[in-house]
Chain A
Amino acid sequence: MNAKTKAFLESKFKEYYHNPVIGLPPRFRKREWAFVLFDSAYPRLVMRRHKAFSSQKDLQAYLGAVAPAHVYYSTAYYAYPSATRMQDKKWEGADIIFDLDADKLLTDSAPSYALMLQAVKNETDKLLDFLVNDFGFDYADFSIVFSGGRGYHVHLREKRLVTLGSHERREVVNYLTGTGLEPEYLLRRTNIIPVPGDNSCWEIRIRTWIDKYFKRLRELDAEMAITELAAVKAIGKRRAKEIVDVMSQDTTIQPLLQSRLMPLTAWKSLIREAISQIKVRIDVPVTADTKRLIRLPTSLHGGSGFRVTPLTFDEFRSFKPLHDAVVFADRSVSVKILKPAIAEIKGETIKVHQGTTELPEHTAVYLMARGLAEYESRRLKSDQK
């Protein structure tokens, strides 16, 4: 990223921070703040840490003056947030954060940015369901945030949670990721029936999954159902046929359970499959950490130019990140494209190729922030290096 591009991005960010748009987290005075500036090192991240602010006005003034590329605050609350040594800060508690990131979700295929964000949104939906249904939180207890980059953050500040240590937070993580769920143990608890009971929400989830699984098989034609069942561990073709016969006698799995046709190994492997589909893929270390820095909602993400967008549950439902998190205008800007790329912003798909071109400001900012383009001042077009 050259100096001109940095200066341009900084001026755009300054414009944004000039208006009073910043929302502050509760207890902001007790938090450590950290910034990455559009300085000479950028895009290498040099973090300016251990700052503290005592009023919204001070923070606002700081942001307006330096227009940082990235703005973070500590999830932890400290007695002395600006102390430079961690042990001097005196930890008093911390929000619990769930980080859902595309990197953790998609391993092989690299679909478009838009599709990727959709996948992360679905995963976030799963998380919210766990938090409300299993943990008993209220929708009002958490705030959902589009990170401005590749995913979502969910912040929880319920008072019984904030004093939990890292080890205890890990139990929460393990719950969400289904870590430590053993089919053997679940089955041992239910005595005779080879499916989990209803001792815990996880058991109910697995049970529901299994019911749905057989319901779907029942709706397939017999041949296909047999092929699918025969692929399950310890079920051969012949056994699969018998199972399909028994299964279609009823709308529940009761006859199947009574028939004892499914070997225990098969049940176990179904349960394992259920777990792997139900579990939430969150970024584990983030949630277990009691001293993380987290992006400030309402700030701008220096790697995309998008707004880190706080959302109510209803807003989240209808949220379209590549539309709703865009803050810059449509007026055109001249840029030099370094690598061919596709940008899908505000419902418009723009394909760009190497060379100089004119783009709407929001798309130009996005490509520059991602390091895919450099700013081209129109007047200086001739003296390119």
Chain B
Amino acid sequence: MEEYLALFPYTSAAARYVEASTRTFESFLTVGEFSKLILNRSVERVTRAISGDTPASLIERDDYEVEIFSYVMARALVSCINETLLIQRYANAEAQDAFDNLRHADEPSRDEYIMSLLEDFRMPVSVENDAFRLHFTDFVKYTGRLRGPQWRLVNLLNRGSVTLAKGEIIQILAEAVRLKVLSGLPLKLSGKMCEELSPYTSPLKEAFSQVSSHLVDSGPVVLEACPPCIKALLSQVKAGRNLSHPARFALTSFLANVGMKADEIVRIYETSPDFDYDLTRYQVEHIRGASGKDYIAPGCSTMETYGNCVESDGLCKRVIHPLSYYRVRNKRHEGVQRNPREGPV
């Protein structure tokens, strides 16, 4: 149970735990070992949403109370920063974690988690041979962002319900998590409270404005304009090599940011030996989001940390972000491409 609360701190079960606890929000702002842990972990939660590239598995989850309360605190942090895009990315990050946690859990606990989450989100199901029957109203609530015929009611409805496999239920739960996290955000907090949190929110704000300044307007994707790191990742995938999690994130988010459609991105991964259509689809869609900008590709320093900055060239010396590289190259590229005979004659 405690592990469940720590893994899924946005559930009503976790909310009840927080309510029943003697720990108060204010107490986390006073000095002390426990409040330090909480604050650090909550900053980590938001940082992960900003950069999006810290794999969930790297995070220690041994202290369940830290998990639960740092979630509460992270909500306060993003509320004080109060940027719509960040709030959305924060919800995405929690949903991605939920998805990973469910996929990585061993079979018995996974089943237990799934049933608890379904109950927590008030989605009554009947289960038979790992097939879940869900009322259609719940189904349409959580599939709006999912693409593909397998998610359309018109292909599934059977006497008021739809039947889903376990993997699909996990995807639906991840979406339910995203909406649950999103609901109520930004919290209405007093100016005084945000003031007290400002030592933590200021650096986060800074980091966020850095990544968002790298946003590029979408247009046709020009592969030649991609920086060497991205080109290298592309050729690795083409050669049938598996990418590490951070590399995969870097490539997907970069392509999404420059305006590539989810379908096209999924197709790029099709040649990977561990290609799992549903998983890839899910990851790509969530990284991409509705706008293609829900997550921002990692910057050069992060790329370097994970050993993904390779074959950097002359232009690389003048940029700190692969997207800037692309923007510069793309402009130049456009200049060369423009057909002089296309103008008025």
Instruction: Tell me the A residues contacting B by CB distance below 8 Å.
Output: 133-137, 160-161, 164, 167-168, 171-172, 174-175, 178-182, 185-186, 199-202
Contact = CB atoms under 8 A, between A and B. Distances in A.
B140 A136 contact: no
Contact of B144 (A136, A167, A200): A167
Contact of A175 (B141, B144, B153): B153
A168 B154 contact: no
B86 to A, nearest CB: 23
A135 B138 CA distance: 13
A160 B159 contact: no
Contacts of A161: 137
A309 to B, nearest CB: 29
A182 B150 CA distance: 11
Contacts of A164: 137, 140-141
Contacts of A171: 140, 143-144, 152-154
Contact of A181 (B155, B160, B161, B163): B155
B157 A178 contact: no
A182 B156 contact: no
B152 A199 contact: no
A135 B160 contact: yes
A343 B144 CA distance: 47
B149 to A, nearest CB: 5
Nearest to B161: A136
A178 B154 contact: yes
Interface of B: 135-138, 140-141, 143-144, 149, 152-161, 163
Given A179-B154, A180-B155, A181-B154, A168 B149 contact: no
24 contacts: A133-B159, A134-B159, A136-B160, A137-B160, A160-B137, A167-B144, A168-B137, A168-B140, A168-B144, A171-B153, A171-B154, A174-B152, A179-B154, A180-B149, A180-B155, A181-B154, A181-B155, A185-B149, A199-B156, A199-B158, A200-B156, A200-B157, A200-B158, A202-B157
A172 to B, nearest CB: 7
Nearest to A158: B137
Q: Which 5 A-B pairs have the closest CB atoms?
A: A136-B160, A168-B140, A160-B137, A171-B140, A171-B153
Contacts of B161: 136
Nearest to B163: A199
B157 A135 contact: yes
Contacts of A172: 140, 153
A174 B157 contact: no
Contacts, number: 65
Given A134-B159, A136-B161, A167-B144, A175 B137 contact: no
Contacts of B156: 199-200
A287 to B, nearest CB: 13
A262 B136 CA distance: 35
B147 to A, nearest CB: 11
Contacts of A167: 144
Contacts of A136: 159-161
Contacts of B140: 164, 168, 171-172
Nearest to A162: B137
Contacts of B144: 167-168, 171
A160 B163 CA distance: 18
Contacts of B163: 199
Given A137-B160, A174-B153, 11 more contacts: A134-B159, A136-B161, A161-B137, A171-B152, A172-B140, A174-B152, A174-B154, A178-B154, A180-B155, A182-B149, A199-B163
A180 B154 contact: yes
Contact of B157 (A137, A175, A185): A175
B152 A180 contact: yes
A181 B149 CA distance: 8
A200 B155 contact: yes
Contacts of B143: 171
Contacts of A174: 152-154
Contacts of B157: 134-135, 175, 200-202
Task: Tell which of A136, A179, A181, A186 has the most Cβ of chain B within 10 Å.
Answer: A136
Contacts of B137: 160-161, 164, 168
B184 to A, nearest CB: 16
Nearest to B150: A185
B160 A168 contact: no
A353 to B, nearest CB: 51
B44 to A, nearest CB: 33
Nearest to A181: B154
Contacts of B141: 164, 168
Nearest to B159: A136
B170 to A, nearest CB: 20
A134 B136 CA distance: 10
A313 B241 CA distance: 63
A159 to B, nearest CB: 9
Chain A CB count within 10 A is highest, among B135, B136, B163, for: B136
A203 to B, nearest CB: 8
A347 B155 CA distance: 45
Nearest to A202: B154
Contacts of B149: 180, 182, 185
A160 B155 contact: no
A237 to B, nearest CB: 35
Contacts of B155: 180-181, 185-186, 199-200, 202
A167 B156 CA distance: 17
Contacts of A137: 160
A310 to B, nearest CB: 25
Nearest to A130: B157
A202 B136 CA distance: 14
A200 B158 CA distance: 5
A184 to B, nearest CB: 9
A260 B153 CA distance: 31
A139 to B, nearest CB: 14
A140 to B, nearest CB: 15
Nearest to A133: B159
Contacts of B159: 133-134, 136, 201
A179 B135 CA distance: 20
Nearest to A167: B144
A171 to B, nearest CB: 4
